Structure 1
Amino acid sequence: MSHSIKNVGDYTKKILCDTFKPQDLFDSLTLIIQTLETIDKNQGSKLSLYVNISSFLTALRTKGLDHKADYIAAAAKAILQFSDVIKYPVDTTHDKNEQALVVADIVGTGGDGQNTFNVSTSSAIVVSGIKGIKIVKHGGKASTSNSGAGDLINVLGVDSTKVNAGSVEKLYASNDFMFLLASQFHKGMFHVAEIRKMMKIPTIFNVLGPLLHPMSIVNKRILGVYSKDLGLEYLKAARLVYPNNDIFVVWGHVGLDEISPIGKTTVWCSQANNDLNTEIKVLEISPLDFGLMEHPLADCQSLGPAKNADILANHILQGEYRRGENAIYDYILLNSAMLYCLCFNSKDYKKAVDIVEESIHNGSALKSLQKFVKDVEQL
């Protein structure tokens, strides 16, 4: 951190004077969190600091820097300094037969305002039932919708507070599906939660979640964004934070941070170890490319954690439906198939649907969820 700047207001001046660099954002967020930590510990007054921090975050938003790749990446790295990150040695990237391990996550920024079914979490469970794939889903509780990933998982029977830095390695060794609740790992985000709530406007923290995964072993990621304008920059940021990953960033044209059940979805693609100057491949896909029907968002709405959990565990994962019979089921197949394609570098979308649907109907997906629930209970 620059020794010449010890006040958040000085960083705000740099933003307004257009001299604010990504390293400044890393330094300023480090300063903010360290200062908030000290005040929280000593129960000191936050008023003047909150005024400075809110002015800083507002200036960052007004200048549009919070949607620029270098700044997003710098912010994510700053937050991760204060997180419980579980790092794995290089030799854990292959199994005992020297086959490359596929460890994936699928998560969106949220903030799209569409309040759709928990499709990322559902797809994570479905794909975890496929041989050769581990899913370590990272997410939070509801902020702008009525059911966040953490809310759904809790109703499904997982006490997510028991999944923490002390237990994840044991759980990872014996499970193909895991869920990590963000608040259990990210102390830095805890310290800024109050001011974010008070400000009532989106800040750079709103886009950081998918880039803050606590486990270094993840190597495949689908990251959803709520805005087309954010898509390309977000992929560039993700490459800076996770250069050894294969990454899809997705945006549904109806305004969705998922692969949309109706109309087109844009997919920005990056392969592991791509040179940062490598041209980014951009795809446009629709349910029709997967051999699936389109469904309006109104038929894919979230009905709250309890009802969503019932639909998923007692109907979808029980093999009650086939493609074309239920909108939410097809929505899950679509996102699951794209995650499968990322995991195995496949472009055969229709075959991917066959494979993920088999994971449901042979019971593998449900068994994967049930094992995680049981193992967490036994902690």
Structure 2
Amino acid sequence: MKDILEKLFNGELLPSETTYDIMKEIGTGNLTNEELASLLTVYRMRPISSGEFAGFREALYDLSKKVNLEFENRIDIVGSGGDGKNSFNISTLSCFVVAGAGYKVSKHGNYAASSISGSSNLLQSLGYVFTDSEDTLNRQLDKANLCFLHAPLFHPAMKFVAPVRKAMKVKTFFNIIGPTVNPSKPQAYLLGAYSEEVADLYSDVMGQAGYDITVVHNIDGYDEISLTDRFIRITNSSKDIFSPEEIGFDLLKQEELYCGDSVDDAKQIFLNVLDRSSTKAQRDVVIVNSAFAIQTLNPEKSLDECRLEAEESIDRGNARSILKNLLNNQ
């Protein structure tokens, strides 16, 4: 590790094989806290390369507890976090809308790191019980088109990292790796990134790993399509910039997406969207992210077609039924 740190301090990039081995050492508790802190500090001071990221990601996935799900053509909708916007649970709501449109969603998530309510906080408040049981998760996918994988149950290697991350109190590359290591290995991802740099990193690494991807980054810093400014969309084959207006949506104000001050506030917004009693802004931002997720699974469909499917999922009560079916199959 001393030689590796010397190379990093000298500005060298590491090959993916080396970062794979480093992550394996981290995940088995073979690095000291001081060595790990030094490593994380390097990647706070310079961007991580796609090769380095790929090695870390692959090893963390290999260290995870795998779950074999019976249904193919699944998607995960997840953001990098770390945007500091404290918006409501747009990605999680989009998962329910996409499931209500008839698609299989295996959602990977965790408690909030920098916002009021992460996906785990929200689902727990709704009465969902976290599980790593394959039978239960497959039953939920069958009956509700949706299951949820609470990250701490599937990533035991992270226990060696937690004390150092807690002591450092800053973002590390583990924050951006987490969304890419869904242990159920869905075919498709709608990935949100808090910066264009992270968006490019996601598209490089996840595209080369063989996933069907759409990566989005809002120009004003959201790790999702917020409709508050123009946004970048990267797919396996293209990179584009859109404004809300040119895809048929109104421009929103940031305060219209605010989560509130508690998990209970986030929970109420979640239920309001599903019950068709939310604000138009709250509904629209869920619809647009859901539409792009559906298009990730169906690239031959137009965005308008995918938008209609998302709207019908809410308006016909299908997305609301997903929550009921999910809770009834625990």
Q: TM-score, normalised by structure 1?
A: 0.81
Question: Which of residues 270, 275, 278 in structure 2 aligns to 1:318?
Answer: 275
The answer as to 2:217 corresponding to 1:247 is no
The answer as to 2:47 corresponding to 1:111 is no
> Which sections of structure 1, spanning at least 5 residues, go unmatched?
1-7, 37-45, 94-100, 271-279
> Which sections of structure 2, spanning at least 5 residues, go unmatched?
none
Per-residue CA distance 1:70-120 (angstroms, 9 max, x = gap): 1111111111222111246xxx66xxxxxxx43111101101111111100
CA distance in 1 between partners of 2:13 and 2:297 (Å): 41
Matched with 2:178 is 209
Matched with 1:223 is 191
Percent of aligned pairs with the same residue?
27
Matched with 2:21 is 27
CA distance in 2 between partners of 1:352 and 1:170 (Å): 26
Please tell me whether the aligned partners of residues 112 and 121 of structure 2 are also in contact (alpha carbons under 8 angstroms).
yes
Please tell me whether the aligned partners of residues 134 and 177 of structure 1 are also in contact (alpha carbons under 8 angstroms).
yes
Distance 1:347 1:29, change over 3 A: same
Distance 1:32 1:351, change over 3 A: closer
Give 1 or 2 for the bigger CA radius of gyration. Answer: 1
- Superposed displacement of residue 166, structure 1: 6.2
CA distance in 1 between partners of 2:13 and 2:105 (Å): 41
Distance 1:253 1:19, change over 3 A: closer
CA distance in 2 between partners of 1:305 and 1:261 (Å): 23
Structure 2 counterpart of 1:237, one-letter code: V
The answer as to 2:77 corresponding to 1:73 is no
CA distance in 2 between partners of 1:143 and 1:21 (Å): 29
**Alpha-carbon RMSD:** 2.0
Matched with 2:224 is 258
- Superposed displacement of residue 320, structure 1: 2.9
Per-residue CA distance 1:299-345 (angstroms, 9 max, x = gap): 101113212212222x2212235xxx521111111111111221211
- Superposed displacement of residue 163, structure 1: 4.3
Per-residue CA distance 1:267-292 (angstroms, 9 max, x = gap): 1111xxxxxxxxx4112223223322
- Superposed displacement of residue 180, structure 1: 1.2
Structure-to-structure mapping, 1:1-379, within 5 angstroms: 8-17=1-10, 18=12, 20-35=14-29, 49-64=32-47, 66=48, 68-87=49-68, 101-131=72-102, 133-160=103-130, 162-165=131-134, 167-216=136-185, 218-241=186-209, 243=210, 245-270=211-236, 280-303=237-260, 304-313=262-271, 315-320=272-277, 326-346=280-300, 348-376=302-330
Structure 1 counterpart of 2:265, one-letter code: K
